[in-house]
Amino acid sequence: MSRFKAIFLDCGDTLIDERTEEKLADSEVVIRADLIPGAKEMMDSLKAAGHKLILVADGPRQTFVNMLTHHGLWDHFDAHIISEDVGVHKPDARMFDAALAAAGLTREDTWRTVMVGNNLSRDICGANALGITSIFMAWSTLRTHEPANPSEVPDYRIETPAELPGLLEKLEALTKYRVPFAQR
């Protein structure tokens, strides 16, 4: 039985190279952007391994439809939790609660989820606040890699998407027989 019941993934500089974004004129809607190296292979690997994948991203819904559909990744996700739809941005707990609900989970299951993102103040802080395992994607240099305070310190750090499947396998092996203290 897999420890992780859902993998939450950000999009910008976690899957998509934000430096390549082309926006609709006079709009925040991105019409196209390149994937970061290894993102497609990572997503294919996670999907093939049977992980439940949930997009947890800030921005206009159409941005993610455009970018992820273009690269054949929209349908890799079991659900799409997007700030425009939820009405708040990460690190607001409502984004993560919506992702948990979409995965059929509750806050009691946060130890069984992972959040992968590039933004310490949004992705990592939000995940940490709820007890979700946080993984910092340190691929891009657009945002700081230095936590501003303890709430932004990630549980794990990876440099490239190619590292994520292996890290998840290691974490699964380490916790295969462990039950969180609160569950004992």
Span 140-153, average pLDDT: 94
* pLDDT surpasses 60 at 86: yes
Q: pLDDT-derived band of residue 176, with 50, 70 and 90 as boundaries? A: low
Closest CA to 1 of 173, 132, 164, 131: 173
* pLDDT surpasses 90 at 16: yes
Span 116-142, average pLDDT: 96
* pLDDT surpasses 90 at 12: yes
User: What are the structural domains of the chain?
Assistant: 6-177 (3.40.50.1000)
Which pLDDT tens digit goes with each residue over 20-31? 999 999 999 999
* pLDDT surpasses 60 at 143: yes
**Under 8 Å between Cβ of 9 and 78:** no
Closest CA to 110 of 155, 49, 157, 58: 155
* Burial degree of 160 (CB within 10 A; 0-12, 13-18, 19+): middle
Q: Alpha-carbon torsion 159, 165, 168, 170, what sign?
A: negative
* Burial degree of 159 (CB within 10 A; 0-12, 13-18, 19+): exposed
154: left (phi over 0), alpha (psi -120 to 50) or beta: beta
Span 86-102, average pLDDT: 98
* Angstrom distances, CA of residue 52 to CA of 15, 25, 100, 135: 16, 35, 11, 16
* Burial degree of 10 (CB within 10 A; 0-12, 13-18, 19+): buried
Which pLDDT tens digit goes with each residue over 32-77? 999 999 999 999 999 999 999 999 999 999 999 999 999 999 999 9
CA atoms within 13 A on the CB side of 48: 7
The pLDDT value recorded for residue 184 is: 38
